[in-house]
Structure 1
Amino acid sequence: MDKLKMPIIIGLIVLIIASLTGYYYYTHNTKTSEIIIFAAGSLKIPLDEIASKYSEKYGVNIYIEASGSVEAIRKVTDLGREADIIAVADYRLIPTFLVPNYTSWYIGFATNQVVLVYTDKSKYHEILENNPSEWYKILMRNDVKWGFSDPNKDPCGYRSVGIIGLASIYYNDTSILENLLLNKTNIAVEKVNDTLNLIVPADLKVSENSNLIIRSKSVDLISLVEAGTIDYAFEYQSVAVQHHLKYIKLPDQINLGNPKYAYFYGKVIVKILVGTDKEKSIAMSPIIYGITVLDNAPHRSEALKFLKFLLGNTGREIFEEKGQPYLDEFIVYGKIPEELRSIAGSES
């Protein structure tokens, strides 16, 4: 055989083998679809478990990127990144930032409450356990380090700020607001009639040598608490349960977990991203998680199937187990896709 033709023949053989190998992989690899989810950090653990069960059953790769809820949304609105599903820790963020340009519907589906987490290494935890109502006095102590997430990025952050404002009203003690927020950050306050407005600048700063620690999302504080770097942190009850952390419940009047006190919660409004065109005013209200599939979702059909699975019995059981019970009736806004109507109901 002509020696000049030999390399060509070998090359053709390699190409044929590679093509056949690729075809075999394509036809035998069941995971040819995918779903992209941008989610609140506090949803990561239950979503991971549901995604695992869905992937095992239907052979779909599910990519979950966790962050603060506001940050998750801004990945789409500001950075132009593609996603199929947006799942946030405050369902009101969807109409605030995504409707009507990115989606026309959403579903409020699960609840939670804010607690104060700690460990046996936390300073004064014995006092806290014996007298839970002393929580804010303990946080005021100079040798106690504590934290919450960034209000401009994460709902747990602006809820933590709101809870401190509500506590100052509930306990009738303005020093709570002054000592826990105003003296430690550049957050400002203004009172309008019976409403307390807490103003969070986009360039939120913590005072030098402060015992307050702020991180991008609430779950980022968990490792700091576990390591004893900080003593206490405001977290969702579900996060405390999932990470096996000790916690105390705050009074129902301020923990944002009891719909009975919705009117009282509304006495505090947190303004975030102040000084930018993204500025928003968020009235405190009972915690409800929200979810939607974006109009331009690259894998829209598969995403809707996954959402139906999530809202069904399997998802409900997993969320219950993780400390985030589903609502008795979902909150439905807009004309939701036909695939979800049997399980989600109609518009509220």
Structure 2
Amino acid sequence: MVASDGGPHRTRREFLAAGTAAAFGGVAGCLGGGTRAVSVLSAGSLARTFEEHVGPAFESETGIELRGEYHGTNALIRMIEERTKVPDVIVSADATLLRDRLYGSVTDWDVEFAANSLGIGYDTRTRTGRRIADGDPWYEVAPDADPGDVAIADPDLDPLGYRAVQALELAGRAHDRPNLKADLLDAVYREPKEPQLLTGVTTGSRAAAVVYRNMAVDHGIAFAEFPDEYNFADPDLADHYATAEYTTDDGYTAVGRPILYNVTVCDGADATAAGRRLVEFLVDNLDRLTAAGLSVDERFPRTVGDTPEAIDL
């Protein structure tokens, strides 16, 4: 079978059958030198997923501590490219971005493990939030909000940010509002630190933010999912999503595409075996991701590239 981008992949059943035996034998041997932690550089939208759902369970099962650091994916990839960060494991909120930027330098394989959807999270205590909760279309409500009252992630640092910009473009077409993108981009607050995107909404200082579904679940706030035409959740609409693009300030052009999370282990990482064990733990416990608000279906896990023989994916 082949992945959506033409690379080889295996189904969940094949993946787990192949990896389980190697996981316990290989990791036990390689960790004999005393490595009891794995460093993870991850997309900020998964901060609570790893800290509250994955990390504690992984440490309980393996005795390996997960030490996570969370940023917008484009920002963390820049850190890796500039060698200011050298993690054991990299987790991206845009599978294609990781492959475009890191294949051939720090890895040549990855595993897709979950999907997500885009929408607007809001505070029902605010005027803007009450209108959305009452059923007013978000694309009519958001332009009426006070400047800075609606937030997006920084599109130059984070796929969540450039997906928000792309969604505004697609929404403008879908709802015959050609000025929607320009008007909102003039008024929104751009949050440079993705894990803090919803802080203002939860504290009442901001009305709403364009976020992934799992982030709203994490923070316990109301969430209005965008229609399939611009929520980047429907793989059958990949060609439609691709009609919207965004070029970051470092020259990378991101084409609109379905939201896919993927994970890899850095070549030459300090705790390679522990990193591989974490990858295996992730795909063997996809129910934890569903509980965290992510989407997991028969597509996952899916491997792409030259997966290491050591974990026999």
CA gap of 1:73–1:178, structure 2 versus 1, over 3 A, is closer
CA gap of 1:327–1:103, structure 2 versus 1, over 3 A, is farther
- Which residue is equivalent to 2:219? 243
- Which residue is equivalent to 2:306? 335
Superposed CA offset, 1:306-347 (max 9, x none)? 2111111x2x011011111224133322110134445xxxxx
TM-score if structure 1 supplies the norm length? Answer: 0.76
Aligned AA for 1:305?
R
Which runs of structure 2 are paired with 1:200-211 in the superposition (5 Å)?
211=187
What is the distance in 1 between the residues matched to 2:145 and 2:306?
Answer: 52
What is the distance in 1 between the residues matched to 2:209 and 2:135?
Answer: 17
CA gap of 1:34–1:142, structure 2 versus 1, over 3 A, is closer
- Which residue is equivalent to 2:272? 300
What is the distance in 1 between the residues matched to 2:238 and 2:209?
Answer: 24
Unaligned runs of 5+ in 2: 1-32
Contact 2:156/2:248 (<8 A) preserved: yes
- Which residue is equivalent to 1:60? 64
What is the distance in 1 between the residues matched to 2:296 and 2:34?
Answer: 30
- Which residue is equivalent to 1:282? 254
Aligned AA for 2:193?
K
Higher strand share: 1
| Correspondent of 1:319 among 269, 276, 289 | 289
CA gap of 1:258–1:217, structure 2 versus 1, over 3 A, is farther
What is the distance in 1 between the residues matched to 2:128 and 2:104?
Answer: 49
Q: 1:129 offset after TM fit, Å? A: 2.2
What is the distance in 1 between the residues matched to 2:127 and 2:310?
Answer: 52
Root-mean-square deviation (CA, aligned residues, Å) is 1.8
Unaligned runs of 5+ in 1: 1-29, 185-210, 343-348
What is the distance in 1 between the residues matched to 2:159 and 2:111?
Answer: 17
Q: 1:83 offset after TM fit, Å? A: 0.8
Contact 2:109/2:305 (<8 A) preserved: yes
Which runs of structure 2 are paired with 1:90-109 in the superposition (5 Å)?
90-109=94-113
Aligned AA for 2:79?
K
What is the distance in 2 between the residues matched to 1:123 and 1:340?
Answer: 53
Q: 1:163 offset after TM fit, Å? A: 0.3
Q: 1:164 offset after TM fit, Å? A: 0.4
Contact 2:116/2:295 (<8 A) preserved: yes
Q: 1:106 offset after TM fit, Å? A: 1.1
Runs of at least 4 residues off by over 6 Å: none
Contact 2:92/2:262 (<8 A) preserved: yes
What is the distance in 2 between the residues matched to 1:124 and 1:250?
Answer: 16
What is the distance in 1 between the residues matched to 2:200 and 2:259?
Answer: 25
Between the aligned residues of both structures, percent identity stands at 23
| Correspondent of 1:35 among 29, 33, 38 | 38
Superposed CA offset, 1:111-168 (max 9, x none)? 0001101112222333322335x21221111536101011111111010011001111
Larger Cα-atom Rg: 1
115-124 vs 92-101, greater mean Cα deviation: 115-124
Contact 1:40/1:68 (<8 A) preserved: yes
Structure ranking higher on relative contact order (CA contacts 8 Å, 6+ apart):
2
What is the distance in 1 between the residues matched to 2:145 and 2:265?
Answer: 46
121-130 vs 83-92, greater mean Cα deviation: 121-130
Superposed CA offset, 1:269-323 (max 9, x none)? 11112xxxx31111111100011101121110111112111111x2x01101111
Does 1:46 pair with 2:17? no
Q: 1:253 offset after TM fit, Å? A: 0.6
- Which residue is equivalent to 1:136? 139
